Structure 1
Amino acid sequence: MKLLSVAIPCYNSEAYMRHCIDSLLPGGDEVEILIVDDGSTKDHTAEIADEYERNYPDICRAIHQENGGHGAAVNAGLKNATGIYFKVVDSDDWVDESAYMEILDTLRRFVYGEKTLDMLISNFVYEKQGANRKKVMNYRTALPKNEIFSWDDVKVFLLGHYILMHSVIYRTELLIQCGLELPRHTFYVDNIFVYQPLPHVKTMYYLDVNFYRYFIGRDDQSVNETVMIGRIDQQIKVTKLMLGYYDVMKIKQRKLRHYTVRYLEIMMTISSILAIKSNNDENMEKKKELWQHLRKQNFPLFLRLRWGFMGQGVNLPGKGGKKFPIAIYKMTQKFFGFN
């Protein structure tokens, strides 16, 4: 059994996947790197995956499947994982080696110690193309450092400050037990990956190291603003799925309830702002239907989100009402790292 399984979803990733895989190889035999070729046809992704499996048979495994999208690739990685812990690293991203060694040391301590760790959190860096300064997302204001803690010990998450897929490593068995299965052919499922397991997480540990390097800048990237507007249906689909996984208003742990409500608030805000910025009547109807869906499904949550600051901001009437959300939009840029 491995200490850590890392799934790398790859779809026509020839141009950058080697950098990603090479950054993970220093983990050695304790790590398995699951290179998931998600039906690539336009380049040599499949051959590169097989090459790494041949050259590093004790570390790398190539998994080939018909195209099912990012979620299906993550599902395949989880299904094939033998590691005690599970991490997703996108094929155009990479990890910092010194932080990586600290991550493995921390996981090793819990595997051979008495306490069970459900979720390890670390920082990530926005590697935005052309930017002189690299923005670091850390959790110093929200989480105790270098100690195991529960939701009761969580401090203050700033607005627009959330745990994302880049910053999280889950215990593999926890993901399996909570029934995590991401939808196929759908973008933005990384939100589901982080969100759905949260009520099952009892123990956490925050390691204040800049581990994950999140590349921003490709024109076809899923967080490109124009691309996101074109995929608003998928953003709304993911938001609806998240609304239905569990009733956040009934979560007994106050700080977990507060955090999950705020997470859903940002998801509703993102969908609404994309509709507003599209300047498209059809998308505005989709926005209206999303809020109606929430109202019908969970009226207490609807009241909480609709009449909160952001809910009111994205539902103001008239042309003037379309200007106000731009300020909120700039805040959400920090969440998704739009390019």
Structure 2
Amino acid sequence: MKVLTIVIPCYNSAAYMERAVESLLVGSDELDILIIDDGSSDNTAVIADEYEKKYPNIIRAIHKKNGGHGDVINTGLKYAEGIYFKVLDSDDWFDKDSLKKVLDILKAMLGNSTVLDMLITNYVYENMSIGKSRSINYKNAMPEEKIFTWNDLGYLKSSQNILMHSVIYRTEVLKSCGLELPKHTFYVDNIFVYMPLPYVNTMYYANLDLYRYFIGRTDQSVNEKIMIQRIDQQIRVTKLMIDCYNPIHIECKKLRKYMIKYLVMMMTVSTVLLLKDNTEQSLNKKKELWQYLRFKDQALYDEVDNSLLGSIVQFKGYLGRKIILLCYSLSRKIFGFN
């Protein structure tokens, strides 16, 4: 029985994918590692096949036409044999000792009468360009080392959003919510972590620095200049998340509050990037995005608009733009993103 499926999306990743794969080799046959080659033109496919030959009990190499990060996750979900499911990007890596402990936790949960839907761990920003490392944990916001529900959730600070790097979903939860990510679109990790939340009933927080999130490469999707170039994809993802939000299916007030908070973050990022681009076309896109939210769900629009960040990003004129960009710069320095 495979306990955990780990999907490694690879597109022209030959230069760095080995670090990701090697970080998973903890000698456990309970792992189901899927190296998915997304139509690479470099040596990625060869490296993937070599790992499959060397570790046939735990590694499978899957080759497909290029469809983007979301399509790779869709493929991984289709082939997953693990009871639980996690994504590891090919330029990131896991802490091996933490992975061993995570596997022990998941195996213990399989013998529990209460089914665990989501395991949460810490992740670490590894910003190589500025030599900064920062661990994001959920201490004081989540009970530790026990199963809990949304009703037990404490206050999550802005730095404590639940991201793809921090979650391990029960595979069946992802399937039951009908998760299917769009092709050829960046930033779909937000949909991946957001859409299944109303289907999660039980959680467990392990205070472990499992995921090492590498940022700082100039060609990386979270590089600010790249994000501005791909702003249409950021907007598309934000709209899809707005479409996912349905208060009828969100019974817990704390979950509803958190999902609105996440949308505030997405609206803020899109708005700031459009303002930084500062073209007539970008400013029109900003206006259209807020109109989309308003027409889709007036109550949700009011919630987002009345939040602190929502109020700030709605500032008008030259001074308003300066205030917004200053807040963004401060957040970037504090949390080490982009």
- Settle same-fold status: TM greater than 0.5: yes
TM-fit CA distance, 1:37: 0.1
Partner residue, 1:165: 164
TM-score (norm 1): 0.96
CA–CA distance in structure 2, aligned partners of residues 122 and 310 of structure 1: 26
Q: Secondary structure at the match of 2:62?
A: strand
Runs of at least 5 residues in structure 2 that lack an aligned partner in the other structure:
none
Structure 1 segment 229-248 matched on structure 2, within 5 A: 229-248=228-247
CA–CA distance in structure 1, aligned partners of residues 334 and 153 of structure 2: 19
1:121/1:167 contact within 8 Å kept: yes
Q: Identity rate of aligned residues, in percent?
A: 54
Partner residue, 1:30: 30
CA–CA distance in structure 2, aligned partners of residues 148 and 171 of structure 1: 14
**What is the CA deviation profile of residues 141-168 of structure 1, one whole-angstrom value per residue up to 9, with x for unaligned ones?**
2111001000000001013420100000
CA–CA distance in structure 2, aligned partners of residues 315 and 112 of structure 1: 50
Partner residue, 1:178: 177
**What is the CA deviation profile of residues 215-244 of structure 1, one whole-angstrom value per residue up to 9, with x for unaligned ones?**
011101000000001111000000000000
Structure 1 segment 38-53 matched on structure 2, within 5 A: 38-41=38-41, 43-53=42-52
Q: Is the aligned partner of 1:88 residue 2:83?
A: no
Partner residue, 1:288: 287
**What is the CA deviation profile of residues 157-196 of structure 1, one whole-angstrom value per residue up to 9, with x for unaligned ones?**
0134201000000000111111111110000000001000
1:8/1:35 contact within 8 Å kept: yes
Letter in 1 for 2:92: D
2:124/2:211 contact within 8 Å kept: yes
**What is the CA deviation profile of residues 288-322 of structure 1, one whole-angstrom value per residue up to 9, with x for unaligned ones?**
00000111110011111123221221121211111
CA–CA distance in structure 2, aligned partners of residues 81 and 21 of structure 1: 17
Partner residue, 2:10: 10
**What is the CA deviation profile of residues 110-149 of structure 1, one whole-angstrom value per residue up to 9, with x for unaligned ones?**
1122221000000011111044441000000211100100
Letter in 2 for 1:181: E
Partner residue, 1:206: 205
More displaced stretch, 315-324 vs 31-40: 315-324
More displaced stretch, 107-116 vs 207-216: 107-116
CA–CA distance in structure 2, aligned partners of residues 155 and 331 of structure 1: 25
Partner residue, 1:150: 149
CA–CA distance in structure 2, aligned partners of residues 81 and 334 of structure 1: 38
Partner residue, 1:140: 139
CA–CA distance in structure 2, aligned partners of residues 303 and 191 of structure 1: 22
Letter in 2 for 1:69: G
CA–CA distance in structure 2, aligned partners of residues 136 and 56 of structure 1: 31
1:310/1:328 contact within 8 Å kept: no
CA–CA distance in structure 1, aligned partners of residues 148 and 177 of structure 2: 20
1:249/1:301 contact within 8 Å kept: no
TM-fit CA distance, 1:330: 3.5
Q: Secondary structure at the match of 1:114?
A: coil
Letter in 1 for 2:25: L
CA–CA distance in structure 1, aligned partners of residues 219 and 247 of structure 2: 34
CA–CA distance in structure 2, aligned partners of residues 98 and 215 of structure 1: 19
Letter in 1 for 2:133: K
1:3/1:107 contact within 8 Å kept: yes
Partner residue, 1:317: 316
CA–CA distance in structure 1, aligned partners of residues 259 and 88 of structure 2: 24
CA–CA distance in structure 1, aligned partners of residues 246 and 129 of structure 2: 42
1:85/1:170 contact within 8 Å kept: yes
Partner residue, 1:220: 219
Q: Secondary structure at the match of 1:319?
A: helix
Runs of at least 5 residues in structure 1 that lack an aligned partner in the other structure:
none
TM-fit CA distance, 1:331: 5.9
Letter in 1 for 2:26: P
Change (3 A) 1:103 1:323: same
2:132/2:336 contact within 8 Å kept: no
Letter in 2 for 1:103: V
Change (3 A) 1:105 1:141: same
Partner residue, 2:107: 108
**What is the CA deviation profile of residues 273-302 of structure 1, one whole-angstrom value per residue up to 9, with x for unaligned ones?**
000011211011001000001111100111
CA–CA distance in structure 1, aligned partners of residues 298 and 249 of structure 2: 13
CA–CA distance in structure 2, aligned partners of residues 280 and 335 of structure 1: 28
TM-fit CA distance, 1:98: 0.9
Change (3 A) 1:130 1:294: closer
Aligned length: 338
Partner residue, 1:65: 64
CA–CA distance in structure 2, aligned partners of residues 25 and 103 of structure 1: 14
TM-fit CA distance, 1:267: 0.5
More displaced stretch, 1-10 vs 21-30: 21-30
Q: Secondary structure at the match of 1:193?
A: helix
Partner residue, 1:19: 19
Change (3 A) 1:194 1:111: same
